[in-house]
Amino acid sequence: MKSLREIKAKINFPKQPQKSSGTKKFISIFILLLFFITEGYAQISLQQLINGIDSTIKGSDCEVSILIMSASRNDILYQYNPDTKMIPASVIKLITSSTAIVKLGLGYSFRTIIYTDDNNINDGVINGNLYLKGYGDPDLSTSDLTLMAEQISKLNIREITGNLIYDESFLDDNYTSLAGVYSSDTDPKYWPYVTALSIDKNNTSKNPAFYAATYLIKEITSQDIKFNGIVIPGITPESLKVLVRFLRPIEEVISNMNKPSDNQSAITVFKVLGAEIISPPGTIKKGSEVVIDFLNSIGINRNSYEILEGSGLSRYNMVTSSSVTKLLKYMYDQVDIFDVFMKSLAIAGVDGTLSKRMKNTEAEQNVYAKTGTLNYVSTLAGYAISRDSELIIFYIAMNGFSGNKTAFYRKKQDKICELICKFSRN
């Protein structure tokens, strides 16, 4: 969808208009048509932005909290209950991903490693065990294991005399996190299975680590490598020889988490933070400690949030609009990492959880944001590009609406985003 400026730029008016009445009538109709086509693209002032948002949220049968501010100028354009704690749902993933990018760094990779206790493999035989250890790659797939098996074959290995020991000890064995822990929380059936040795989003088995190990052996034997042992769980001893490693850059993991709002990825990353920054095994509690320490370090008031886990599934997570927008401002100010962070967000009308929203409006392709949805909860937070190409930070939270009104309140959020994108200081 083109802006008014782009539409005007592409119109080729005749240098010498014809003087016939028919042509004059045609031009009049054309101008009238152009007016109706472009009326929706008229830029709006700050007061019109404020009035438009007030009108949009008027009569809402729920709690509403909104804060909108300029990323570069740091001035608040609009606020409504900015310090009210509300359930953010999956907007929590903004906090999880921000913490991961800052604390782990852009050079970090989520890894899966095959070790061996045989120090000499030059004879083509592994006289000992293989150890398959997961370090919390939430996107590990069977195709990745196939690639690892092929890499073993390229080392001219033709026989393995020992066992394959699979190790998921980098993260704890509380596989379903907070499912069933708190009353009136999200139904346990919606909580993902989280392990350090994941496979295909853990949808293939009740024991994905075992499934990953047996699949690896199947792929190894398909490479004409003889395997004489069995598959068993265990712990990888320290100082073993690395046979093969598979690395997934943090940028890929964060994008795969934020755009589709993947809960399994978010809780895994949350636990990995605990394992890497504090100590293995990674746990929900350790992840929460790392996130709280990060938020404190950037000046976000500890009383403005409660973060129990990293996906947003828990209804006991709480944040304020002020805390979320302050985080988004901090990330904007980090020149070296902001591009990766912003590109990990869903783009309105293009991809992720926003692929079908804001289409054919000025917000299409101009909003990069994270959605949040639970029963009676709808939220949206991120960045919008104004008519002046100014980057605007926003957070919109709507909690406690009655009935099945999620779509209704999403449309209100979309309308607010459209207004932001039409905003001009000129």
Look at residues 219, 236, 253 and tell me which one is the last residue of a structural domain.
253
Cα 409 to chain center, whole Å?
Answer: 21
Average pLDDT over residues 333-344: 97
Dihedral sign for Cα 105, 141, 353, 408, please: negative
| 391 and 409 belong to one structural domain | yes
Same domain, 241 and 120: yes
Whether residues 332 and 401 share a domain: the answer is yes
Distance of CA 311 to the CA centre of its chain: 9
348 within 8 A of 364, measured Cβ to Cβ: yes
pLDDT band at 22 (very low <50, low <70, confident <90, very high): low
Q: Is the dihedral of CA 34, 35, 36, 39 positive or negative?
A: positive
Mean pLDDT taken over the chain = 92
Domain membership of residue 368 as a residue range: 46-86+320-422
- Residue 78: CB atoms within 10 Å: 21
- Model confidence over 103-157: pLDDT tens digits? 999 999 999 999 999 999 999 999 999 999 999 999 999 999 999 999 999 999 9
Q: 132 and 58, same structural domain?
A: no
Picking from 253, 273, 294, the residue at the C-terminal end of a domain is 253
The neighbour count for residue 306, using CB atoms within 10 Å, is: 14
- Determine the pLDDT at residue 79: 98
Q: Do 243 and 125 share a structural domain?
A: yes
Listed in sequence order, the residues at least 6 apart from 72 whose beta carbon sits closer than 8 Å to its beta carbon are: 332, 390, 391
Q: Do 82 and 209 lie in a common domain?
A: no
CATH number at residue 181: 3.50.80.20
**Residue 368 C-alpha from the chain's centroid:** 11
Would you place residue 26 in the very low, low, confident or very high pLDDT band (cuts 50, 70, 90)? Answer: very low
- Is the residue at 282 inside a domain? no
* Phi–psi pair at 128, nearest 5 degrees: 160, -155
Burial 10-23 (b: 16+ CB within 10 A, else e): eeeeeeeeeeeeee
Identify which of 37, 50, 48 has the alpha carbon closest to the alpha carbon of residue 360: 37
Residue 177 counted as domain residue: yes
CB distance 81 to 321 below 8 Å: yes
Number of folded domains in the chain?
3
Three-class secondary structure of residue 167 per DSSP: strand
Q: How many C-beta atoms lie closer than 10 Å to residue 360's C-beta?
A: 9
pLDDT digits over 259-280, tens only?
999 999 999 999 999 999 999 9
Residues 125 and 54 in one domain: no
Residue 96 lies in a domain: no
